C-alpha cells in the first residue's frame, strides 16, 4: 500500500507570495493533519481535516488555511508569505476518528524556503 505523498517536495517562494501544498493520504484514510517543523519551534500542529471538515486548529494566524476534498486529499495554503514561514511542512493521515486510537502516518514533507 502506498504511503502518504506530498507535493512538491521542495519549494522556494518570495516574501508576499502565496503557496499551496498538497497531501495525498494512504488509501482509505479519512483524517489528514498538517504540521510545521522549524529548528526553533519544533513540530507544531496546524490543523486536522476529517471528512472534508476542519476538526481541530492550532495556534497559527489566518494566513494558514487548508481544505480537504471528497477523496480525502488535502491542501494547505499560506498567503502573504513571511521569512518565518520557511519550514518543513508535514502531513499525516489516519484511518478514522481519534476515538479508535489509530496510528497516524506521516509523509516525507515539503521543504518551503521563503526568500
Partner 1 sequence: DAKTTQPPSMDCAEGRAANLPCNHSTISGNEYVYWYRQIHSQGPQYIIHGLKNNETNEMASLIITEDRKSSTLILPHATLRDTAVYYCIVRVASTNKLIFGTGTLLAVQP
- Which residues are at the interface with partner 1 (CB under 8 A)? 4, 31, 33, 35, 42-45, 48, 50, 55-56, 58, 88, 90, 92, 94, 97-99, 101, 103-109, 111
| Shortest Cβ 51–partner 1 spacing (Å) | 12
47 CA to centre of own chain: 8
| Shortest Cβ 91–partner 1 spacing (Å) | 9
| Shortest Cβ 37–partner 1 spacing (Å) | 9
Q: Which is nearer to partner 1, 65 or 106 (CB)?
A: 106
Q: Which is nearer to partner 1, 8 or 16 (CB)?
A: 8
C-alpha pair distances (Å), 97 with each of 44, 109, 115: 20, 23, 38
Beta strands in the chain (DSSP E): 5-7, 10-13, 19-24, 31-38, 42-50, 53-57, 64-68, 74-78, 87-94, 104-106, 110-114
Q: Which is nearer to partner 1, 20 or 106 (CB)?
A: 106
Answer for the pair 19, 6: CB distance below 8 angstroms, yes or no. Answer: no
| Shortest Cβ 103–partner 1 spacing (Å) | 5
Grid cell in block for residue 17: 507570495
Q: Which is nearer to partner 1, 81 or 92 (CB)?
A: 92
Amino acid at each position: 500500500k502506498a504511503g502518504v505523498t506530498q507535493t512538491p517536495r521542495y519549494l522556494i517562494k518570495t516574501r508576499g507570495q502565496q503557496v499551496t501544498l498538497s497531501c495525498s493520504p494512504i488509501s482509505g484514510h479519512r483524517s489528514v493533519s498538517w504540521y510545521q517543523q522549524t529548528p526553533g519551534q519544533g513540530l507544531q500542529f496546524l490543523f486536522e481535516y476529517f471528512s472534508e471538515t476542519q476538526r481541530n486548529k492550532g495556534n497559527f494566524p489566518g494566513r494558514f488555511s487548508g481544505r480537504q476534498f471528497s477523496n480525502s486529499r488535502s491542501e494547505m495554503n499560506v498567503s502573504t508569505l513571511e521569512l518565518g514561514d520557511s519550514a518543513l511542512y508535514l502531513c499525516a493521515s489516519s484511518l478514522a476518528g481519534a476515538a479508535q486510537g489509530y496510528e497516524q502516518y506521516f509523509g516525507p514533507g515539503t521543504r518551503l524556503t521563503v526568500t
